[in-house]
Amino acid sequence: MARAKSTGPVIKLVNISKEYGHDDTLMLALDGVDLTIEKGEFVAIMGPSGCGKTTLLNILGLLDSASDGDYELSGANVERLSSHRRAHIRSHEIGFVFQSFNLLPRMTIIDNVALPLTYTNMARYKQHKNASRLLKTFDLQEREYYMPTQLSGGQLQRVAIARALVNKPSIILADEPTGNLDSRASEIIMSELSDIHRRGNTIIMVTHNPDLTTYATRIIHMIDGKIARDTKHPEPVADPRKKRPLGKTSRKGASR
Amino acid sequence: MTVSAYIREGITSLRSTRVRTGLTTLGIIIGVLSITLVMSLGEGAKRTIANQITSLDKGIIIVKPGGVDQQAALSSYNPFSIASTSTLTERDLHSINDLKVTSAAAPLMFINGSVKFNNHTAKYAPIIATSPEFADLLKLKLASGQFVSNETNRDTVVLGHEAALDVLGNDQVRGQVIQVKGRPHTVIGVLDQTMAPINAIGVNLDRSAFINLDDGKSFNQGIAQISQLIMRASNPTTTSQTAAAIDGLLLKNHDGERDFSVIEGKDVAENTNAFYNIIVLITAAVAIVALVVGGIGIMNIMLVSVTERTREVGIRKALGASDRHIFGQFLIEALTMTVVGGIIGLLSAYIIAFFVATFFAFQPALTWEIVGIAMGLAVSVGVIFGLYPALKASRKDPIDALRQYE
Is A102 close to B318, i.e. CB distance below 8 A? yes
Q: What is the pLDDT of residues A42-72, one digit of tens each?
A: 999 999 988 989 899 999 999 998 999 999 9
3-state secondary structure of B207: helix
Instruction: Examine the domain organization and report whether B87 and B133 are in the same domain.
Output: yes
Contact of B308 with B367, CB cutoff 8 Å: no
Question: CB contact, 8 Å: A149 with chain B?
Answer: no
CATH code for residues A11-255: 3.40.50.300
Q: Select the more confidently predicted residue: B195 or A1.
A: B195
Is A106 close to B5, i.e. CB distance below 8 A? no
> Which residues fall within 8 angstroms of residue B209, CB to CB, at 6 or more apart?
B115, B122, B125, B126, B127, B128, B157, B158, B159, B160, B163, B180
Alpha carbon separation from B147 to B52, B122, B129 (Å, rounded): 21, 20, 12
Contact of B39 with B374, CB cutoff 8 Å: yes
Q: What is the pLDDT of residues B359-374, one digit of tens each?
A: 876 778 888 999 999 9
Instruction: Examine the domain organization and report whether B178 and B306 are in the same domain.
Output: no
DSSP string over B108-161: EEEE---EEETTEEPTT--EEEE-THHHHHTT--EEEE----TTS-TTEEEE-H
Stretch B290-305: mean pLDDT:
94
Range of B135's domain? 57-264
Sequence length of chain B is 406
Is B325 close to A167, i.e. CB distance below 8 A? no
Instruction: Examine the domain organization and report whether B35 and B73 are in the same domain.
Output: no
Which of B242, B264, B286 lies at the terminal end of a domain, its last residue?
A: B264
Instruction: Examine the domain organization and report whether B180 and B128 are in the same domain.
Output: yes
Taking a contact as any Cβ pair under 8 Å apart, which residues of chain A between 213 and 252 contact chain B?
none
Is A120 close to B320, i.e. CB distance below 8 A? yes
pLDDT category of residue B199 using cuts at 50, 70 and 90: low
If you count residue pairs, one on A and one on B, with CB atoms under 8 Å apart, how many are there? 64
Instruction: Examine the domain organization and report whether B118 and B180 are in the same domain.
Output: yes
Residue type, B20: R
Is B323 close to A83, i.e. CB distance below 8 A? yes
Question: Of A63, A100, A167, which is closest to B318 when you measure between CB atoms?
Answer: A63
Contact of B290 with B296, CB cutoff 8 Å: no
**Total tally of structural domains belonging to chain B:** 2
pLDDT at B201 over 50: yes
Is A119 close to B1, i.e. CB distance below 8 A? yes
Instruction: Examine the domain organization and report whether B339 and B245 are in the same domain.
Output: no
Instruction: Examine the domain organization and report whether B259 and B377 are in the same domain.
Output: no
The pLDDT value recorded for residue B80 is: 56
Mean residue pLDDT of chain A comes to 85
Nearest CA-CA partner of A159 in A173, A168, A148: A148
Question: Of A63, A118, A167, which is closest to B398 when you measure between CB atoms?
Answer: A63
pLDDT category of residue A128 using cuts at 50, 70 and 90: very high
Instruction: Examine the domain organization and report whether B35 and B63 are in the same domain.
Output: no
Instruction: Examine the domain organization and report whether B186 and B245 are in the same domain.
Output: yes
Return the sign of the alpha-carbon dihedral for residues A130, A131, A135, A136.
negative
Q: Select the more confidently predicted residue: A68 or B52.
A: A68
Segment (H or E) for B169: none
Instruction: Examine the domain organization and report whether B258 and B374 are in the same domain.
Output: no
Which of B215, B232, B264 lies at the terminal end of a domain, its last residue?
A: B264
Q: Highest mean pLDDT: which of B59-68, B83-92, B233-242? A: B233-242
Count the alpha carbons within 13 Å of A171 in the hemisphere toward its beta carbon.
28
The structural domains of chain A, with segments of one domain joined by +, span 11-255
